[in-house]
Amino acid sequence: MVTFSVLPIEIQRECARHFDIQTLKQFRLSSRKASSIALEYLFHTIVLNFNDESAKRFNHVLDDGALKKMVRRAIVDGRDGHQDELYPEESEEEDGDSDGDGVEDANEIKWPQTPWSIAIKRIAQFPKLRNAELWMQDECYEWDYAGSSCDQDPEYRQVYQTRFFQALKDATAIDSLTLNNAQDAIITSTGTEEATDALRSRIKSFHIMIATDVCHGSPENKVDQVELHQCFNFLLRTHWLDPFQNQLTHLTLYCDTYWGVYPFTDLRGIHFPCLVSLALGNLSVAHDWQFDWITSHGETLEELILDDVCIVYAMVMPKEMLNANWPNEVPNPDDDTCKHYLTRWDEVFDDFRLDLPKLKRFGMGHGEWHNKMFEARYDLPARIEWTRYMTYYSGIGPSQWTEEFSYHR
C-alpha cells in the first residue's frame, strides 16, 4: 500500500497547496517532512488587520528569522478600519494644503501612529515577498460629501494608501500588486514619485478593484461624479496602465459600477505584449474597437475573464456621453440623443475563436458582486446571462443601466 509520505515531494507540496488552514496544522504534526511542507503554506500569506492583536502577530513573524522568509504574499486588510482613529495635527512648517486645492495633503499632516500603521512600514522586511495587497472598505464617498455613513472618508483612505506604497519602495522582490476597493478620487495617491516609480518598475501582475461614491440618497447621480470620470478618462491610464505596458503579464480591471462607455475609457494605444491573463469586471461595450483591443493580445493571451461585461445595445444619452464616445456626431438640440449598437455576442465569440488562438481558460457571466466577485474572479465559469446585454437611459433612477426591452436584442 502506497502511503502519502512515499510520494514525490513535488506531489506532496501540490496536495498541501489545496489544504485549508486546519488541515495544514494537523498535517504539520504528522512528520518532520510534513511539518516543513505545511509551514511553507501556513506562512505563505500573512494578513495585517487594523487591530492590535493582528499587528502583534505580524511583528512576531517578522521578528522570526525563519518564518519571515516563508512569506510570499502580504495583505494589508483595512476593511475594518475607521476614520475616527485619525486625529490630525498640522505640521508647524505646513498648513496641510500645499497645492492650494482646499484639501489637506495626507503626506503633510502628523497622523497618530497605531500598531498596525507602524507594522505597515515593515512590509519590505519580508525578504521573499512577491505579492502585496491593500484592501479597503467597499463603500466610500467623495471629498465634498459629509453626509455619508461610510466609515472611511477619502482622507483616511489616502493616508493608508500612501503609507502602503511608501513601505513597498524597498520591497525589491515584489512583482504583483493588488488594490481592492481603491477609491477613484485617490487612485494616484501612491506616495512620492520616487517610491511609485520604483514599485511600478517591478510589477508584472496588476489587479485593481475601483470603488466609487455610494450616493445613497440619489444613486442615479453616481454616473455624473467628476472623480469617476477623471479616474477612467485619464488617471487610470496615465498613472497605472501606460507605465506597465512593456512588462505586465496579468491584468485585472474591475469597478463597482459600469465603465467603458460612460464613464468613457479609451484603451486604444495601450498594448501589453506579454499579457497572459486579462480579467475585466463591469465593462460596458458600445464600440467594436473595445473588443478589438482584447483580441489585439491574441499572440500571448491564455486566460480571459469577462465578469458582467455587457454589450450596450441601446442608449438614450446626454450630450456629455455622446461627445465622449462619438465626438463627430451632432447631439439632439432638444433632448437626449438615441443610439444603437448592432454587434452581438455570437459575432464576438466567433472573433475570439479566430483571434485568440492560445486561449485556454474563458470565464463569462455574473460573479458574486455582493460577496467576493473580485477575489473569486478566476473561478467564474462560462455562462450566458441576461446581463450580457444592457441599455442606458439618461434621467431614470435608481440606475440608468437597465435590462429593459430585452426583446429588441
Is 358 in the same domain as 384?
Answer: yes
- The pTM for the full model equals 0.89
Is 196 in the same domain as 211?
Answer: yes
Is 166 in the same domain as 269?
Answer: yes
Please compute Rg for the chain using Cα positions. Answer: 23
What local confidence, expressed as pLDDT, does residue 148 receive?
A: 58
The last residue of one of the domains, among 41, 56, 71, is: 41
- Across 140-166, average pLDDT: 81
For residues 199 and 328, give the distance between their C-alpha atoms in angstroms, rounded to a whole number. 40
Is 1 in the same domain as 57?
Answer: no
Residue 135, SS3 per DSSP: strand
Is 32 in the same domain as 88?
Answer: no
| C-alpha cell of residue 387 | 446581463
| C-alpha cell of residue 372 | 467576493
Is 29 in the same domain as 53?
Answer: no
Is 387 in the same domain as 300?
Answer: yes
Is 98 in the same domain as 34?
Answer: no
What local confidence, expressed as pLDDT, does residue 97 receive?
A: 46
**Do residues 189 and 143 touch, judged by C-beta distance below 8 A?**
no
CATH of the domain at 328: 3.80.10
Is 260 in the same domain as 343?
Answer: yes
Evaluate if residue 409 carries a pLDDT over 70: no
What local confidence, expressed as pLDDT, does residue 38 receive?
A: 87
Is 19 in the same domain as 97?
Answer: no
For every residue of 309-361, DSSP letters joined together read: -EEEEEEEE-HHHHHHH-TTSPPPSSSPEEEE----HHHHHHHHHHH-TT--E
For residues 380 and 163, give the distance between their C-alpha atoms in angstroms, rounded to a whole number. 33
Is 20 in the same domain as 79?
Answer: no
| C-alpha cell of residue 352 | 475570439
Mean pLDDT, the chain, whole residue set = 88
Structural domain that includes position 37: 1-41
Q: Which of the listed ranges 91-95, 342-346, 397-401 does the model predict with the highest average pLDDT?
A: 342-346
What local confidence, expressed as pLDDT, does residue 13 receive?
A: 87
Which residue, chain included where needed, has cell 429593459? 404
Nearest to 401 by CA among 283, 294, 231, 233: 283
Percentage of the chain exceeding pLDDT 70:
89
For residues 294 and 271, give the distance between their C-alpha atoms in angstroms, rounded to a whole number. 9
**Least confident window among 2-6, 34-38, 72-76, 303-307:** 2-6
What local confidence, expressed as pLDDT, does residue 1 receive?
A: 65
| C-alpha cell of residue 305 | 475573464
Evaluate if residue 279 carries a pLDDT over 90: yes
What local confidence, expressed as pLDDT, does residue 12 receive?
A: 87
Is 137 in the same domain as 173?
Answer: yes
Evaluate if residue 90 carries a pLDDT over 50: no
**Number of domains, the chain:** 2
